[in-house]
Amino acid sequence: MIPGIGTLTQDTLWCFSQVKGTIEIGTTEADIISTVEFNHTGELLATGDKGGRVVIFQREQESKNQVHRRGEYNVYSTFQSHEPEFDYLKSLEIEEKINKIRWLPQQNAAYFLLSTNDKTVKLWKVSERDKRPEGYNLKDEEGRLRDPATITTLRVPVLRPMDLMVEATPRRVFANAHTYHINSISVNSDYETYMSADDLRINLWNFEITNQSFNIVDIKPANMEELTEVITAAEFHPHHCNTFVYSSSKGTIRLCDMRASALCDRHTKFFEEPEDPSNRSFFSEIISSISDVKFSHSGRYIMTRDYLTVKVWDLNMENRPIETYQVHDYLRSKLCSLYENDCIFDKFECVWNGSDSVIMTGSYNNFFRMFDRNTKRDVTLEASRENSKPRAILKPRKVCVGGKRRKDEISVDSLDFSKKILHTAWHPSENIIAVAATNNLYIFQDKVN
Amino acid sequence: MAGASGLGTGPGAAGGDGDDSLYPIAVLIDELRNEDVQLRLNSIKKLSTIALALGVERTRSELLPFLTDTIYDEDEVLLALAEQLGNFTGLVGGPDFAHCLLPPLENLATVEETVVRDKAVESLRQISQEHTPVALEAYFVPLVKRLASGDWFTSRTSACSLFSVCYPRASNAVKAEIRQQFRSLCSDDTPMVRRAAASKLGEFAKVLELDSVKSEIVPLFTNLASDEQDSVRLLAVEACVSIAQLLSQDDLETLVMPTLRQAVEDKSWRVRYMVADKFSELQKAMGPKITLNDLIPAFQNLLKDCEAEVRAAAAHKVKELGENLPIEDRETIIMNQILPYIKELVSDTNPHVKSALASVIMGLSTILGKENTIEHLLPLFLAQLKDECPEVRLNIISNLDCVNEVIGIRQLSQSLLPAIVELAEDAKWRVRLAIIEYMPLLAGQLGVEFFDEKLNSLCMAWLVDHVYAIREAATNNLMKLVQKFGTEWAQNTIVPKVLVMANDPNYLHRMTTLFCINALSEACGQEITTKQMLPIVLKMAGDQVANVRFNVAKSLQKIGPILDTNALQGEVKPVLQKLGQDEDMDVKYFAQEAISVLALA
């Protein structure tokens, strides 16, 4: 077991570490965080926002080894990844919003990540520079031109140390391959390919080749009126380079084996839970749509998030999930109003902790939930400015369902549906989490006694 | 060497007397760090000039350290630098100092951009040959070891390509170390490195002693061929070819074949695809006996593989397979063991497979001879000529020359014609374009009579196609036909029809007449041009559409050199002068241009 990762027993307390982003109430749309992702070592944390920017935080090197200040990150680099564009052929605006960020395995001293908006995936290099050449032949130290006649010797520039500079440079642009909106990107364990999925198709790319990609899944019917489902998320298996899964708006997951054929229209496995007829309602179909799918680090399980639950499936059992966790079942009675204010279409994501023993996903009112798979305990926590004192312990929250409201409970009716936590990330090997709440990024760590 | 450019003759030679020739070098050095990439690139490309001016000592002590840290630059600059350094040995003082070039190349061998890394490795391989055996062990081998044990996989992948150049010249102790390092890279944690090792396995095997090949390379090969990642396994197929060339038939059977058999049946289609794709190489490397016993049955499986990509790759190799078989057995093997599978592929469900087959199937006729071709292949050709997929039909038509030599094209002409006509009228203009390009070839093989009777009208119809690219291609086609069939034929069949279009109500068709005249005049010669074409062109100078008029000017410029002076002065000049006064700017411009080019002013 990885040190530092226990189970979420009663003793695991989460405490505040940092909050990033402005405090002002009136937030601009562009500042809303749209994706959060740790790199493979957990030393870096990237966020993308609706304004097309990517901000990378680096773990504070000095405090890294102090147990109480392990979870401190500072801005490392900020860059504009995508710009708003206009597709003149289709008269469509292409938003700059960053839909997903995925880190590549580290290959040299620089870091590489993929970022995508609705249409275009970009490969970015983030590198450090700490030396600067000095000394010119034709200019003096102050930059004044020298008289060519006075040049009697040649000077070769010399590199001198300078303040550390972090630069982000676009290395590849993978464009023009998606007719619909890209919802997922996933890097393959072979380190040379990745896939991008939109509503109806999944494409396979080689990192080195930008002018062609292979279509591996296409569910577009010949007649668009026969369209009954769309692809909502897709991910590669963490170790088997030939295996990937994609989820659909019908609540099903398909596992495909790229060894079997070049076009993966026929799935190898099909994960579906039979519907309970007694629970059927007008909203059944909408709330069963899967908003995120994630392989466990071990590669044995997949986790899916739909509107009200998060489910864990064993790759070896297709007919039902092995675990189902209720995220906010109290909303079941409020689906009608959630439909009217469009919240029912919110796409919540879900994450595993480093040892696959705990899962985390978001809810409304800036609440997020954790489920311990071993002890079956769950907890609701809140990302809020109010208890943002350093190392303040997060108090578990409770939403009351019945008529009587106890102290410290919050009633369903007073939940703020405009404050939603869609994106979270868990450090790959430690109990440090990053939670995106609108325009703020909260970092929490577990309390160590 | 240093004296060659007159810039100095030795260490520290440049300087002292305010020499003018220093200035351009000073500029080059400063531009190594200019903000403009083009200027930096330019300076890097003239690195040898800078080094000459500095002399060998300063190049070693100042220029190379600076370049070693210049790894932040754009890819194209780094690429140029990596390339330059490969030829730098003379500029740093010759082979005794070749090792000074290793630090910058070592850095370049770890950048993320593959082309730069590959170029750095190429230069390192080049420089390794310039090292003395002592220097090789003192400097080069340690560099390879550093790369091989680097933290990042980019450096380890680069190391994979360097083992084979230092191995032959190393001492036995070092050789053992090198083999050990290569072994460990073959089982590296990252698939990137294992792929690099797999792709260099064959090359490394070639420089090893035969015993080591058997005792060390073969187990590595077997491991890589059963790697968990199919992207690694498929590279082992390539290595198979090189390794096979080193072993005896008996060894092949026991050491290599079990692995190859496994690859043929691999669960991943990409590995099977690789076997199909490398089939000819495998066939040559394995020799006739194994080919007959193992490879032919394997090939049959590939031809009926469940994945279309594999079937297509195998179909592509049908002809080469036949050509590489021993001459005496060729016919029987193909007839009995391959042809039945080919017959199936002709009606494959996948158009990609059928078109791959169609691109090579005609080549079998030379191997099978006249009778077999007529009896067995001809029905297949005819079926493919009627295939629903235009690519298939096109591929058959484009390879007609192979059959022509064996049975003559007449056998096919009855089916050929409908196929051509259909392609000629295909809704996709690219298909029409492709068939036009085969017209001169077809015309040559079918002969004038057949052509006039059946195909001429098609060629004329393309001239009024609604896609410009088709009209343009049709025009060029006419020119090639005239070159083939001669001017008399042109005068009787083509020219009258082209000239009639000059009166067409559609101005685009009228312009086509002009384009045809541009293309045909040279092939038709002075007489036809002057007597038949020129009057029409001149008449069109009065066209009401300006586009036609300025094309008249362009045509006159084009055909002018073919005409005699009388026609030029008496007929062309007045018309061009008139067009030179045209109210339309473009007409005026082209008329004046024609006048000056033809020197009629």
Over residues A258-305, the pLDDT tens digits come to 999 999 889 999 999 988 888 788 899 999 999 999 999 999 999 999
Q: Mean pLDDT check: name the lowest of A67-71, A210-214, B4-8, B91-95.
A: B4-8
pLDDT surpasses 70 at A306: yes
* Mean pLDDT of all residues in B392-417: 79
pLDDT surpasses 80 at A143: no
pLDDT surpasses 70 at B229: yes
pLDDT surpasses 80 at B5: no
Over residues A21-43, the pLDDT tens digits come to 877 766 789 999 999 999 999 99
Which residues in chain A have Cβ-Cβ distances shorter than 8 Å to B62? Answer: 156, 158
DSSP lists the bridge partners of residue B201 as none
Is position B309 within any domain? no
Is position B519 within any domain? yes
pLDDT at B449: 85
Share of residues in chain A with pLDDT > 90 (%): 72
Q: Mean pLDDT check: name the lowest of A8-17, B308-317, B367-376, B509-518.
A: A8-17
What distances in angstroms separate CA B220 from CA A38, B202, B214, one per listed residue? 36, 11, 10
pLDDT at B12: 42
pLDDT at B11: 41
pLDDT surpasses 60 at A3: no
pLDDT at A6: 45
Which of A167, A259, A264, A268 to probe the B interface (max B CBs under 10 A)?
Answer: A259
Q: Are A195 and A234 in contact (CB under 8 A)?
A: yes
Is position B466 within any domain? yes
Q: How far apart are CA A449 and CA A92, in angstroms?
A: 55
Instruction: State residue A337 phi and psi, 5-degree precision.
Output: -70, -30
- CB nearest to B192's CB, from A110, A152, A191: A191
Q: Give the residue from chain B lying closest to A172, CA to CA.
A: B113
Q: Say if the Cβ atoms of B30 and A137 lie within 8 Å.
A: yes
- For chain A, give the mean pLDDT: 91
Strands A423-426 vs A432-437: parallel, antiparallel or unpaired: antiparallel
Q: How many structural domains is chain B composed of?
A: 1
Across B455-567, the runs of DSSP E, i.e. the strands, are none
Residues contacting A342, CB < 8 A, separation 6+: none
Over residues A406-436, the pLDDT tens digits come to 778 898 988 999 999 999 999 999 999 999 9
pLDDT band at B311 (very low <50, low <70, confident <90, very high): very high
Which residues in chain B have Cβ-Cβ distances shorter than 8 Å to A158? Answer: 62, 66
Q: How far apart are CA A420 and CA A436, in angstroms?
A: 9
Q: Give the residue from chain B lying closest to A191, CA to CA.
A: B192
Residues contacting A234, CB < 8 A, separation 6+: A183, A184, A186, A195, A197, A202, A217, A244, A245, A246, A247, A293
Which residues in chain B have Cβ-Cβ distances shorter than 8 Å to A150? Answer: 18
Is position B111 within any domain? no
Q: Mean pLDDT check: name the lowest of A115-119, A229-233, B573-577.
A: B573-577
Is position B561 within any domain? yes
pLDDT band at A1 (very low <50, low <70, confident <90, very high): very low
pLDDT at A2: 43
Q: How far apart are CA B233 and CA B236, in angstroms?
A: 5
Run of H or E residues at A173: strand A158-174
Is position B593 within any domain? yes
Run of H or E residues at B251: helix B249-251
pLDDT surpasses 80 at B86: yes
Q: Is A423 helix (H, G, I), strand (E, B) or coil?
A: strand
Q: Is A326 helix (H, G, I), strand (E, B) or coil?
A: strand
Which of B110, B227, B231 to probe the A interface (max A CBs under 10 A)?
Answer: B231
Which residues in chain A have Cβ-Cβ distances shorter than 8 Å to B113? Answer: 171
* Mean pLDDT of all residues in B35-58: 93
CB atoms closer than 10 angstroms to residue B566: 9
User: All domains of chain A, ordered by start, with CATH?
Assistant: 12-125+175-444 (2.130.10.10)
Q: Are B240 and B277 in contact (CB under 8 A)?
A: no
Which residues in chain B have Cβ-Cβ distances shorter than 8 Å to A171? Answer: 112-113
Over residues B413-429, the pLDDT tens digits come to 777 788 888 888 888 88
* Mean pLDDT of all residues in A125-143: 86
Q: Which among A64, A73, A71 is positioned nearest to A21, based on CA atoms? A: A73
Structural domain containing residue B544? 446-600
Q: How far apart are CA B248 and CA B414, in angstroms?
A: 52
Is position B480 within any domain? yes
pLDDT band at B290 (very low <50, low <70, confident <90, very high): very high
pLDDT surpasses 90 at A145: no
Residue B494 corresponds to which tokens in the numbers above? 């083509």
pTM above 0.95, yes or no: no
Q: Any idea what the CATH number is for the domain that residue B551 is in?
A: 1.25.10.10
Radius of gyration of chain A (CA): 24
Cα of B66 to nearest chain A Cα, Å: 6
Count of CA atoms in the C-beta half-sphere (13 A) of A34: 23
Cα of A238 to nearest chain B Cα, Å: 12
* Mean pLDDT of all residues in B117-133: 95
Is position B567 within any domain? yes
Q: How far apart are CA B297 and CA B282, in angstroms?
A: 14
Over residues A316-326, the pLDDT tens digits come to 999 999 999 99
- CB nearest to A152's CB, from B16, B33, B270: B16
Q: How far apart are CA B478 and CA B495, in angstroms?
A: 10
Over residues A241-263, the pLDDT tens digits come to 999 999 999 999 999 999 999 99
Q: Say if the Cβ atoms of A150 and B25 lie within 8 Å.
A: no
Task: Kindly provide the ipTM of the predicted complex, given to two decimals.
Answer: 0.84
Over residues B546-555, the pLDDT tens digits come to 999 999 999 9
